[in-house]
Amino acid sequence: MSDFNIESIPSQKGRVAIVTGSNTGLGFETAMALAKKEMKVILACRNNNKAEKAKQLILKKVPGADIEVRIIDLSSLKSVREFAKNFLKDYDKLDLLINNAGIMIPPYSKTEDGFESQMGANYFSHFLLTGLLIDVITKTPGSRIVTLSSIAHKNGQINFEDLHWEKKYSAINAYGQSKLACLMFAYELKRRLEKAGSKTLSLAAHPGVSNTELARHIPKLVLYPLMPVFLLMSHTPDKGALPTLMAALSENAQSGDYYGPQGFREMKGKPGKAFSSDASRDQDVARRLWDISEELTGIKYL
C-alpha cells in the first residue's frame, strides 16, 4: 500500500471533483494534481479573488484544465446549503468530494451558527456538505469522499459537555477535537454507507506537517524562530497532498482507510496507512457525534 505513485494513475477524464479550501495549500495542490489527471475540478472556496487566482495558476501549469470556481463559506451553514443547492442544479453526478478546508488555532470566535470556529469550519460544515450531496455521490459509480484529519487528532477528545468551548477555550485542544471529529466522521460514514448497501468509499487522510498558510494564526514571534526546525520536519504542500490523492485515486484503497506520510512520526515521507488513535475508533462516541451533528446542522442522512 505504500507504493502509491501518482504518475501511474490513469486519466480521470469525465469525472467530477469538489475540493473545499483549494485556493491555497494542500487543497490547491490536490486540485492541481486532479486537474493534471484531466478531472473536472470545482474549487470550493470562500474568497472569489483568491480562487480565481488559483484557477489561473492551475491553467498556467495545466493548459485546458477543466476548473470551476464556486463559493462556499464553511463558517456558515447557510452558505454550505447555497453551495450545494447551486451545485445540484447544474450537476447530476459527483465522483469525488474532498473535505479539505480547515483553520488551525485561531483566537476564540463562533460561527454565525454558534459553533466554535474550528469545529464549525473543519467539521460541522463538512458534515452538512456531505449530507446535502450524499444522494448525488452515492448514485455516481466509483465515487469517494475523502476527509482531512491530522496528527493532532491524537490529542483530541470529543467534549460533549462543552463542544463549543464556551467554558474555557484552548485553541490547540479545539483544533485536536475538530480533527478527531473529522476522522471519526470518515469512519462512521464508511459504516453507514456500507450498511445502506452503497459502494461509495469514505476515506481519511492527513498530510503530516506541511508548510502552508495553516500556521497563519501562530504569532510571527513564535513561528519565525521555529522555522528552521519546522522546515526540517515538514514537506512541501505537493508532497503533503499525496495521502489525500492516494485516498482519492488509489485502486487499492478501501473504505475506512486512513493515509498519511510514512516517515518519522508521520511528519513527512511517502504516503501509506496512518496511525489512528483508539479514541478515533470508538463507535459509541462516533454515533453520538453523528446524532449531535444531525441535530446541530439540521440534516439527517444515512
Asked whether position 250 contacts ligand NAP by CB under 6 A, the answer is no
Site for ligand NAP in 77-116 (CB under 6 A): 100-104
Asked whether position 47 contacts ligand NAP by CB under 6 A, the answer is yes
Residue 271, φ and ψ in degrees, nearest 5: -80, 145
DSSP annotation string for 157-185: ---GGGTT--S---HHHHHHHHHHHHHHH
**Long-range contact set of residues 295-300: C-beta below 8 Å, sequence gap at least 24:** 296/113, 296/115, 296/124, 297/77, 297/124, 297/125, 297/127, 297/128, 297/131, 298/77, 298/128, 299/127, 299/128, 299/131, 299/132, 300/131
DSSP label of 106: P
Question: Binding segment for ligand NAP among 9-17, 31-39, 184-192, 208-216 (CB under 6 A)?
Answer: 208-216
For 213, other C-beta atoms within 10 Å of its C-beta total: 14
**Residue 3: CB minimum distance to ligand NAP, A:** 23
**Residue 284: CB minimum distance to ligand NAP, A:** 25
**Residue 13: CB minimum distance to ligand NAP, A:** 26
Closest CA to 132 of 172, 69, 176, 74: 74
Per-position x/- string for 169-198, each x denoting binding to ligand NAP as judged by CB under 6 A, each - no binding: ------------------------------
Q: How far apart are CA 263 and CA 286, in angstroms?
A: 29
Residue 205, φ and ψ in degrees, nearest 5: -150, 155
Cα 66–chain centre separation = 21
Asked whether position 128 contacts ligand NAP by CB under 6 A, the answer is no
Site for ligand NAP in 267-286 (CB under 6 A): none
Residue 16, φ and ψ in degrees, nearest 5: -120, 135
Asked whether position 245 contacts ligand NAP by CB under 6 A, the answer is no
Q: How far apart are CA 31 and CA 242, in angstroms?
A: 11
- Which of 4, 16, 19, 24 is the binder for ligand NAP (CB under 6 A)? 24
Residue numbers annotated as active site = 175
Shortest-Cβ-distance residue relative to ligand NAP: 25
- Which of 12, 23, 198, 200 is the binder for ligand NAP (CB under 6 A)? 23
The nearer residue to ligand NAP, 121 or 198, going by C-beta atoms, is 121
- Which of 209, 249, 285, 296 is the binder for ligand NAP (CB under 6 A)? 209
94 in helix, strand or coil? coil
**Residue 37: CB minimum distance to ligand NAP, A:** 20
- Which of 62, 73, 94, 266 is the binder for ligand NAP (CB under 6 A)? 73
For 111, other C-beta atoms within 10 Å of its C-beta total: 20
Asked whether position 50 contacts ligand NAP by CB under 6 A, the answer is yes
Residue ranges binding ligand NAP (CB under 6 A): 21, 23-27, 45-47, 50, 72-75, 100-104, 121-122, 148, 150, 206-207, 209-210, 212-214
